[in-house]
Amino acid sequence: MTARTAPGSSEGAGAAAARLTGRSVTAERPLSPSLAEVTLDGGEVVMVKRGDAAGAVRAEAAGLRWLGAADAVAVPAVRGQDEDWLVTDRVPAGRPDEGAAVRFGRELAALHAAGAPAFGAAPPGGPQEAFIGLAPMRNTPADDWPHWYAQHRVLPYLRRAVDDGTLRTAEAAVVERALERLPARAGPAEPPARLHGDLWNGNVLWGAGGRVRLIDPAAHGGHRETDLAMLRLFGCPHLDRVLEGYQEAAPLADGWADRVGLHQLFPLLVHTVLFGRGYAGQAVAAARTAVG
């Protein structure tokens, strides 16, 4: 999330942390315009983030709590929040290793297995109008994954990319053809999984003690292969071992590797909308692999 100033307020991260945790602040270290490390009395360090749009903090906090309630992959605990500020535990830095990767795969499988009420279900207490990064993301519940994925995860960003001129009409037609074939290419029906929803490598923190922790979710009910496809899209240390641990805990349906491009359409079109034409070619290529 990027910085914004609450209407009529010039409160900083330290002041927000003190107010939301009820503890005095002894130090503050800005990491970006919207993020700071704040040291509380007693030496405990927390992360303090300022939201960039109405509902963004509420969506992220609800997502962290929902993921944490699965007691699977670790997430930072929410220490306090309001409409503008989010205070969470800091994740002590560690280094990627193969053992942690296998454990992460098993824990990710357990997170997905915790389930969701429907595809597109928002976390309890989370807004329907949520976000993935800086892009709006609408959580609309449905029972049929192929239809829901096309209507609520691909087409909104496809239309905006065309309207913005970052995706050409002929390129959009390739994506539309992939969506037409989606019901036949989606694989066996699966129940809604509890997704992180924005599982790129930057949101996977290899913490001290050999355990991965996930941050910045765009949590919702979805297909478990979508999280895995996003993890593959932007790279992840020891990804082969992550997948090994996942498959041991919850084997993927046959043909899952052939569906990676299909599940990458969503994040690639989000990136096309947010960052421009540089991602358009990747989105079209993913659509072509989905068409087969």
Q: What is the pLDDT of residues 259-277, one digit of tens each?
A: 999 999 999 999 999 999 9
Residue 7's pLDDT is 36
In the chain, where are the structural domains located? Answer: 13-89, 98-291
Domain 13-89 matches domain 98-291 at the CATH topology level: no
Domain covering 98-291, topology: Aminoglycoside 3'-phosphotransferase; Chain: A, domain 2 (3.90.1200)
Residue 18's pLDDT is 97
Tens-digit pLDDT profile for residues 131-149 = 999 999 999 999 999 999 9
Residue 53's pLDDT is 86
Task: Say what the pTM is.
Answer: 0.94
Query: Is it true that domain 13-89 has CATH number 3.30.200.20?
Result: yes
Q: Give yes or no for a contact between 115 and 196, defined as CB atoms under 8 angstroms apart.
A: no
Residue 2's pLDDT is 33
Chain mean pLDDT for the chain? 94
What torsion, rounded to 10 degrees, do the Cα atoms 61, 62, 64, 70 define? Answer: 160
Of the two residues 9 and 227, the one the predictor is more confident about is: 227
CB-CB neighbours of 184 under 10 Å: 9
Residue 61's pLDDT is 97
Checking if the pLDDT of 3 tops 80, the result is no
Tell me how far apart the alpha carbons of residues 70 and 194 are, in angstroms, rounded to a whole number. Answer: 9
Residue 10's pLDDT is 76
In angstroms, the Cα distances linking 241 to 94, 97, 101, 228, 237 are: 17, 9, 6, 13, 9
Average pLDDT over residues 88-102: 94
Residue 141's pLDDT is 98
Tens-digit pLDDT profile for residues 247-261 = 999 999 999 999 999
Average pLDDT over residues 32-38: 95
Which sign, positive or negative, has the C-alpha torsion 273, 279, 281, 283?
negative
Query: What's at 10, amino acid-wise?
Result: S
Confidence of residue 5 (pLDDT cuts 50, 70, 90): very low
